[in-house]
Amino acid sequence: MFISFFFLVLLSFSPAEAKRQCHLRPKNNLVVTSLPSLPTPTSASVTGSSTTTSALPSRTPFSYGNNTIRGVNLGGWFVLEPWITPSIFENTDDDGIVDEFTLGQRTDFNASLEMLQNHWNTWITEDDFIAIAEAGLNHVRIPLGYWSVPMTSSDTNQSTSVDPYIPGAWPYLLRALNWAAAHNIHVIIDLHGAPGSQNGYDNSGQRTSNPQWAFSSQNISRTIDTMVFIAKEIGGMIDVLELMNEPAGFRSDTWASVTRQYFQDAYDAVRGAVGGGMRMMIGDAFLGVDDWDGFLTYPSGEGVIMDKHMYQIFSNLELSRSEDDHISFACNQIPDFVSYASSNIWTIIGEWSNAKTDCALWLNGRGTGARWDGSISPGSQSFGSCQGLTGDMSTFSDEYKTFLRRYWEVQTEIGERINGWIFWTWKAENADEWSYQRGLEGGWLPQDPTERLYPNICP
Ligand SMILES: *[C@@H]1O[C@H](CO)[C@@H](O)[C@H](O)[C@H]1NC(C)=O
Ligand SMILES: *[C@@H]1O[C@H](CO)[C@@H](O)[C@H](O)[C@H]1NC(C)=O
Ligand SMILES: *[C@@H]1O[C@H](CO)[C@@H](O)[C@H](O)[C@H]1NC(C)=O
Ligand SMILES: *[C@@H]1O[C@H](CO)[C@@H](O)[C@H](O)[C@H]1NC(C)=O
């Protein structure tokens, strides 16, 4: 009944009328009043945000479907990942802390809150938004955990407890939205961590072999309420709301069908709450875009984007590809993506990287080795040494940097043929092959994202 009600609403307005129904609050300049007193004030802290008191920032309008999304993910900021900031995990002196869930469980709340506030305040600053804009990028995708969204019992009928997570990132997010607006960057907010965990990866907040999200109607309904809350509170300051990152559709048919129903219900709920102006993003849940043929296409959906992720490093089959094989594998994806995008919904490659190995320390989880050098488990196959393939770029050969550039070009090429691309990730402490920022510094990534050293890289 819920669903059919919103179908009727959607069908009874033309797109233009639906847009006029938009109830998005015009919060174009979020005043950040609740940043805690920060341990080490820097020029990038509260006072550094010129945007909270100045006139309304005016962003260049972005025509989705006509303009190409070129962006970076701000990984490891509001959802910790051991491989992106290993120092945070090392500093705990506790090998049992493998994700944000165990961090909350096994440390003193106040001490960790202070540590996290320092991280939220320093990992990404206004200078990063300036550098991202100067690199010709027009979007950031910001991963967020449900535990950072300050819902109260008036926002959901489900539990509002975030235990054992440590909440408090929200004001830092609001400040970032002001920076984005001031520097002409469009924002995708991405629910990276859902209640119960939607995939069991450490990057969902909780590393577990038994994620629960899809099995709990309470968790799902809380997730929908979270989406509605975000749309109502900050919808006017963001461009796209991604309803969930990487739900584990491959785990079972149940996971796949629950995910499908969730995307439909969350879409309807957000539309019902804030009207037609809020663009939304869904993912393929690892099932391939063709599995989503006809899903949320116009007129049953409007303003929806498909987020496809591409990595070629998480299996021996992929690692055994030569550099040229990685390039041609990427090229071979193009016809399918183009065909899906042209007959369904806008489609982007929302996560991909330059890595051709899984060598980055703790990429497979804190305390876990790499498939590439066989350190992942005793007796496993080795493809070579990790030396010179990860860590600081001073160890990278020119030949390796050339590959990083070619691999970047072929993957941006895929994105350019559809609606865009978003690189994973802007910064990493000690894995320069994954860092857009270090790629610019090291010269293997161009300051103009349309520059090509290898035009016609795909035949
Ligand atoms: C793309 O541009 C055309 C021409 O300016 C316009 O009519 C159309 O609405 C635009 N499409 C989108 C999705 O904004
Ligand atoms: C954390 O700090 C608050 C405020 O100083 C205090 O009331 C609370 O008891 C502390 N909590 C713990 C677990 O130490
Ligand atoms: C909570 O449940 C009541 C009764 O079913 C319903 O009227 C209300 O809309 C619900 N609130 C939310 C936020 O879902
Ligand atoms: C997830 O659902 C279970 C019940 O199925 C509930 O006990 C738990 O509190 C929920 N988790 C969150 C984070 O809301």
User: Is the distance from the beta carbon of residue 60 to the nearest atom of ligand 2 less than 6 Å?
Assistant: no
Kindly list the domain boundaries of the chain, sorted by start residue.
Answer: 2-29+68-318+332-355+415-442
Residue with CA nearest ligand 3 atom 7: 157
CB within 8 Å of 253: residues ≥ 6 apart: none
Cα–Cα dist 142/154, whole Å: 26
Can you tell me which atom of ligand 2 is nearest the CA of 109? Answer: 13
Distances (CA, A) of 73 to 42, 77, 287, 325: 24, 10, 22, 26
User: Is the distance from the beta carbon of residue 53 to the nearest atom of ligand 1 less than 6 Å?
Assistant: no
The answer to whether 337 and 289 are in contact (CB under 8 A) is: yes
CATH topology of domain 2-29+68-318+332-355+415-442: TIM Barrel (3.20.20)
Supply the pTM of this predicted model: 0.90
pLDDT in tens, the chain (459 residues): 333 333 333 333 334 433 333 445 445 556 665 666 543 333 222 233 333 434 455 788 999 999 999 999 999 999 999 999 999 999 999 999 999 999 999 999 999 999 999 999 999 999 999 999 999 999 999 999 999 999 999 999 999 999 999 999 999 999 999 999 999 999 999 999 999 999 999 999 999 999 999 999 999 999 999 999 999 999 999 999 999 999 999 999 999 999 999 999 999 999 999 999 999 999 999 999 999 999 999 999 999 999 999 999 999 999 999 999 999 999 999 999 999 999 999 999 999 999 999 999 999 999 999 999 999 999 999 999 999 999 999 999 999 999 999 999 999 999 999 999 999 999 999 999 999 999 999 999 999 999 999 999 998
The answer to whether 345 and 296 are in contact (CB under 8 A) is: yes
CB within 8 Å of 436: residues ≥ 6 apart: 72, 135, 423, 425, 426, 427, 445
CA max distance for the chain: 63
Q: Does the annotation count 242 as an active-site position?
A: no
Ligand nearest to the CA of 216: 4
Q: Does the annotation count 351 as an active-site position?
A: yes
